């Protein structure tokens, strides 16, 4: 294995870790946003982006970067090291694409509903306080 392919393998793992972190942020970000307007805005934008990528014709940029480094390292998608294999399973579970889309959109909609509830509660509290 050349040092270039070692670098590419490391890049694949790093992008997969970033992708996993992004997915966890989209799923659980609502837990860390209360009282943090800029973080709330970023999370809502992340949710909208998640829905657009799931239902639209656009590929996820992180997937494109992963594919680039895998090709550059001479790997196929199922090829790779132990760490890459298990991170890949977390990012790309072995379920149908339609189920992934449904679950992904459902998670985003639930998060957006939580934000709508928070906005409703805030409006109701501040409206009656005036």
CA distances from 62 to 10, 22, 70, 87, 118 (A): 15, 9, 12, 14, 31
Number of domains in the chain: 1
pLDDT at residue 79, as a whole number: 47
Cα–Cα dist 16/85, whole Å: 10
Range of the domain at 97: 3-129
User: 23-46: per-residue pLDDT in tens?
Assistant: 999 999 999 999 899 999 999 999
- The residue among 130, 124, 107, 17 whose CA lies nearest residue 69 is 17
Predicted confidence band of residue 129 (pLDDT cuts 50, 70, 90)? low
Q: Which two tokens stand for residue 8?
A: 């590419």
């Amino acid at each position: 294995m050349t040092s270039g392919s070692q670098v590419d393998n490391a890049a694949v793992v790093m992008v997969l870790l970033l992708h996993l972190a992004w997915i966890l942020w989209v799923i659980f970000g609502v837990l860390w946003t209360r009282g943090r307007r800029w973080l709330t805005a970023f999370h809502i934008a992340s949710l909208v982006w998640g829905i657009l990528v799931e239902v639209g014709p656009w590929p996820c940029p992180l997937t494109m970067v992963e594919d680039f480094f895998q090709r550059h390292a001479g790997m196929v998608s199922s090829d790779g090291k132990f760490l890459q294999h298990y991170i890949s399973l977390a990012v790309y579970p072995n379920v149908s694409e339609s189920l992934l889309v449904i679950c992904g959109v459902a998670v985003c909609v639930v998060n957006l509903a939580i934000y709508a509830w928070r906005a409703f509660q805030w409006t109701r509290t501040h409206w009656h306080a005036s």
